[in-house]
Amino acid sequence: MTDSPSQAEIIDMLRQHVEAGCTDMLADAPINHFDAPRDETAFAAVPDTAPSAPQNQMSEAMPAAAPIATPMATPRAPSDNHVNTAELAAAADDLPALRAAIEGFDGCALKKTAKNTVFSDGIEGAHIMLVGEAPGQDEDRQGKPFVGRSGQFLDTMLAAIGLNRTENLYISNVVPWRPPGNRTPSLDEIALCKPFIARHIALAKPDILLLVGNISTKTLLQTDIGITKLRGQWQNYEADGLSIPAMPLLHPAYVLRRPETKADVWADLCSLKKRLAH
């Protein structure tokens, strides 16, 4: 028979759960999320499981948008909910209307377990729009994107080149509701929310997009190439008649876990700063 864990071991295990975001009561009874069949071709943005080594070299010249974003597989026919999000998004004529449409939408299961709809933060009309992946625990509690530890680190990184959310930056996420336990959003959840963020970009009309993390990069560039290969290389976001220069960036949570990537982030921010100087 094994010994029961000590008080110190129990406290350590609880601390790990808190750090992982597993602190909320989600339902009175377990829910089997595997009941519904999952079609992997619905969305090809599969997060990297073994990221390649980050690039260390960058060209001094600003390259044109490289056509390296491999097209995703043709999606399946949209479900009723997917059609609904596309219709709701298209009907929004401005950002307040889009916010109201998202907050009033009940077709995504994530909303049932989230405390808040996380729509945006920063300055509407800013030249630069940053798009992250999905809210975490702190974001869910405060109703704003990137306010937790990784968000604070992001603020520090961007401040180094003169960007901040109180003056010249607008911030949102691909998915506006926190996935339980801070898990990665499913392919169906991402596809369901994609019309919302696409309309958000169309209404915000930024001059430059910063795509932070694997999900936002793959979703908005419609590629299956991972962030560690695309980071630091200027791309074009093409949708709704718009063509917006887009810079994929490593997610600050990833950088915090792998401090050796800070040099890569700094190189990418320098490329952004150079672009802004023109």
Tell me how many domains the chain contains. 1
Residue 278 is predicted with a pLDDT of 78
The answer to the question of residue 73 being in a domain is: no
5 within domain boundaries:
no
Q: What is the pLDDT of residue 41?
A: 37
Please return the burial class of 50, using the count of CB atoms within 10 Å of its CB with bins 0-12, 13-18 and 19+: exposed
The answer to whether the CB of 243 falls within 8 A of the CB of 221 is no
Rounded to whole angstroms, how far apart are CA atoms 62 and 272?
10
pLDDT for position 179: 97
- Residue 236 in any domain: the answer is yes
Domain limits at 181?
A: 80-277
Assign 166 to helix, strand or coil: coil
What pLDDT was estimated at residue 236? 97
Which pLDDT value is given to residue 80?
Answer: 65
Check residue 13 and give its pLDDT: 63
| Domain membership flag for residue 13 | no
What's the average pLDDT block by block, 10 residues per block, for the chain (278 residues)?
65 57 49 46 39 36 43 48 88 98 96 97 97 97 96 96 97 98 95 97 98 97 95 96 97 96 96 92
Q: CATH number of the domain that 175 lies in? A: 3.40.470.10
Give the pLDDT confidence score for residue 15 in this predicted structure.
Answer: 60
* pLDDT (0 to 100) of residue 11: 66
Q: What is the structure's pLDDT at 177?
A: 98
- 68's tokens: 């390296």
**Pick from 245, 242, 251, 248: which is nearest to 275 by CA?**
245
Instruction: Judge whether 63 lies within some domain.
Output: no
**Residue 175 to residues 95, 102, 110, 187, 191, Cα–Cα distance (Å):** 16, 10, 9, 11, 9
Query: pTM for this structure?
Result: 0.73
pLDDT computed for residue 261 by the predictor: 96
pLDDT of residue 2: 52
